[in-house]
Amino acid sequence: MAARYYERLALEAARDMVPGQVRISPVATETPAAMFNLGSYTPAHPRLAALTSGAEDLAAVVGSTDTKDPSGDWSSPYRMARDLCLMAAANAGVPALDTLYANFRDDPGLRAACAVSRRDGFAGRFAIHPDQVAGINAAFAPSAADVALARRIVAAFDADPTLGTIGIDGKMYDIPHLKQARRTLAAADEG
């Protein structure tokens, strides 16, 4: 990352950009050594915008013949890399972006994979082709139902900030749910 970091600084200087304006989203899992150093992203450098994982380079280094199992899911080493990247991003306080979906002509498959990514905690996904952008944006945008529930959770806690737990429609919500509700509203540009 150091060489690219200095290139970015040179780019800023050459274009008379404000220092620190260029942000970096490294592919943090491309080598076995990287897997053991994911904690080094904390504390996050001010230029760190997000972390993502990458399976293909890691597969080439370790000698894998494929990154997916017969069902199409990530095989164990690449699921681990993806999961550790997600945890490293959360630890550093930056978004985790899921790796690319290689079949850029498979919009239904992309949207299904994005739904899994969003469920797991990823904030977005890298696109390998411009045709994927609309599907990715749609999949990671909170639904109207998500936003409505988030509003209710925030309103209930705002009504009585001394509460640590609330009930809505027979379901218990506590402070982690409040944090997630606020993230949902922020993603919907309401927070």
Containing H/E element for 181? helix 175-187
pLDDT tens-digit readout, 40-90: 999 988 889 999 998 999 999 999 999 999 998 999 999 999 999 999 999
pLDDT at 3 over 80: no
- Residue 96 pairs in a beta bridge with 51
pLDDT of residue 133: 97
Residue 122 to residue 83: CA distance in whole angstroms? 10
pLDDT of residue 15: 86
**Amino acid identity at 38:** L
What ranges do the domains of the chain cover? 2-99, 144-187
Task: Mention the CATH class of domain 2-99.
Answer: alpha beta
pLDDT tens-digit readout, 168-185: 999 999 999 999 999 999
pLDDT at 1 over 50: no
Contact 72, 78 (CB under 8 A): no
Give percent of the chain above pLDDT 90: 80
Residue 156 to residue 169: CA distance in whole angstroms? 12
DSSP per-residue letters across 61-79: HHT-S-SB-TTSSBPHHHH
Contact 139, 132 (CB under 8 A): no
Q: Is the pLDDT higher at 164 or at 22?
A: 164
Model confidence, pTM: 0.84
Residue 191 pLDDT grade (very low, low, confident, very high; cuts 50, 70, 90): very low
